[in-house]
Amino acid sequence: MLNKKNLRHLMVAAATALTLPAMAQQNYKQDSVTIKKIYDNALTSTKSYEDLRYLTKNIGARLSGSPQAAAAVEWSRQVMEKMNLDTVYLQEVMVPHWVRGDKEVGRILNSKLLGSVDANIAALGGSVGTGKQGLSAEVVEVKSFEELEKLGKKKVKGKIVFFNRPFDNTELVTGAAYSGAVDQRGGGPAAAAKLGAVGVLVRSMTNDIQDVPHTGATRYQDGVEKIPAAAISTKDAEQLSSLLKDDANLKFYMRMTSETLPDVLSYNVIGELKGTQKPDEIIVVGGHLDSWDIGEGAHDDGTGCMQSIEVLRLFNELGIKPKRTVRAVLFMNEENGLRGGLKYAELAKARGEKHIAAIESDAGGFTPRGFGLDGTKSQLQTVLNWKPLLAPYGLHEIAPGYGGADIGPLKGQGSVALIGFKPDSQRYFDYHHTMIDTFEQVNRREMQLGAASMASLAYLLSEYGL
């Protein structure tokens, strides 16, 4: 019967006949069947989604060095141990151990219009505390580092610098808007400290106007004083900015008891299926197991980890014996140090491992859009040749792009291609690094489709190399 669905398959087949090289054409039919099986199985198994529920609800937020991070390591190791893989192991890595301490207090003081009102703040990861008494100071607002430089020491000394450059909402991909604003969070505190500021507030990294503050790492500089730095919710940032107009008496009070403790031993968690023909050629699928300490780290990056494990489950369940080795890596400490990614690359190099590709899922468990590839033209062309197999599943956007933070340190080892799984980006920064990045925000099907997308690409890579 020629219904719409058949028609689509015919059209895809027709397009394929025109675009695929000869060898790929031969295999096209079989690959097409395998990929359909991958999606069917992923969409009807709730294993991965229920695992995410356990990780987020029973373990919860899991910042590097925390008991929850240790629990997540042991639990995910056990999850993979039960899966009949060829190898499951831990990879030791020393990680930073920063703790938030008490719930932060933020308060606008003595404003002309509203008097004193609370503001939602969250210490930036790595920030020093204010001392138990907190600190209050006048606020100076800037939108850029240039503006800050122009103010100079005279106008900055003794004050709290408030970085308030918003996301550019005209960016279609929200990650681009993030890239255009996150320098304030990373570099703001050090730049302000150089001019004598006593504290920093950074507008939260989100497109949305919300009550919840978005935490995230900041970087101090050697030789520059470490001053307390917090994210302020976008709603409160708007209010603070509005109140600051011609208001000489306004001050801001912030209290944070965050501190950095000695490094802690932790682990990357690794499971793999050995390649049947070229076991030495390795394809990584990965995400990061650590999360920030607020919320549940559901989209960032519980989904990426569970999807990576799901790739192996799908191979096993469907009896796919990969020709090349497929390895799931749950990296530790992406959020505040990247020590897991660095350690993984260091050991891969020391052992002379040959990675041909690494796929990272760290942009949320949303509906799939495609893959970004950081590699050679010829690698990109190979993946583009597979597009007729992938586009029917919504994977239209296969283009040069960013791989991922954890796989980044592999760059330059042989000819490894770094591949970022690209889900739809619109909702990611509603939740990113907040208390509302919870299991409830993950749609089961969207997450399943992501895992199937990664598994399909990993399957093609394992069959044909790159």
- Active-site option among 272, 281, 334, 335: 334
Residue 409 CB, nearest distance to its own copies (Å)? 21
> 215 near 256, Cβ under 8 Å?
no
Subset of 158-177 contacting its own copies (CB under 8 A): 169-170, 172, 174, 176
User: Which is closer to its own copies, CB of 133 or CB of 170?
Assistant: 170
Residue 172 CB, nearest distance to its own copies (Å)? 7
> 222 near 91, Cβ under 8 Å?
no
User: Which is closer to its own copies, CB of 434 or CB of 462?
Assistant: 434
Q: Parallel, antiparallel, or unpaired for β 417-423 and 368-374? A: antiparallel
Residue of 260, 316, 367, 413 interacting with its own copies (CB under 8 A): 367
Rounded CA separation 112/439 (Å): 41
User: Which is closer to its own copies, CB of 27 or CB of 443?
Assistant: 443
User: Which is closer to its own copies, CB of 328 or CB of 398?
Assistant: 398
> 188 near 217, Cβ under 8 Å?
no
Within 8 A by CB and 6+ apart from 445, the residues are 43
The answer to whether the Cα torsion of 133, 136, 141, 145 is positive or negative is negative
Size of the site for its own copies (CB under 8 A): 36
Rounded CA separation 172/150 (Å): 32
User: Which is closer to its own copies, CB of 29 or CB of 445?
Assistant: 445
Check binding of 9 to its own copies (CB under 8 A). Answer: no
Residue 285 CB, nearest distance to its own copies (Å)? 21
Check binding of 154 to its own copies (CB under 8 A). Answer: no
CB-based contacts of 436-440 (< 8 A; 24+ apart in sequence):
436/212, 436/295, 437/291, 437/292, 437/295, 437/296, 437/297, 437/298, 437/299, 437/300, 438/56, 438/295, 438/296, 438/298, 439/52, 439/53, 439/56, 439/57, 439/296, 439/298, 439/302
Residue 249 CB, nearest distance to its own copies (Å)? 32
Residue 376 CB, nearest distance to its own copies (Å)? 16
Residue of 2, 44, 246, 352 interacting with its own copies (CB under 8 A): 44
Residue of 105, 138, 426, 464 interacting with its own copies (CB under 8 A): 426
User: Which is closer to its own copies, CB of 132 or CB of 445?
Assistant: 445
Residue 368 CB, nearest distance to its own copies (Å)? 10
Residue 396 CB, nearest distance to its own copies (Å)? 4
User: Which is closer to its own copies, CB of 21 or CB of 400?
Assistant: 400
Subset of 441-460 contacting its own copies (CB under 8 A): 443-446, 449
Residue of 430, 460, 461, 466 interacting with its own copies (CB under 8 A): 430
Annotation marks residue 334 as catalytic:
yes
Residue of 13, 29, 30, 40 interacting with its own copies (CB under 8 A): 40
Contact letters (x/-) for its own copies, 385-414, by CB under 8 A? ------xxxx-xx-xxx-------------
Subset of 206-225 contacting its own copies (CB under 8 A): 207-208
Note the residues at the interface with its own copies (CB under 8 A). 4-5, 7-8, 11, 39-40, 43-44, 169-170, 172, 174, 176, 207-208, 367, 369, 391-394, 396-397, 399-401, 424, 426-427, 430, 443-446, 449
Residues with active-site annotation: 334
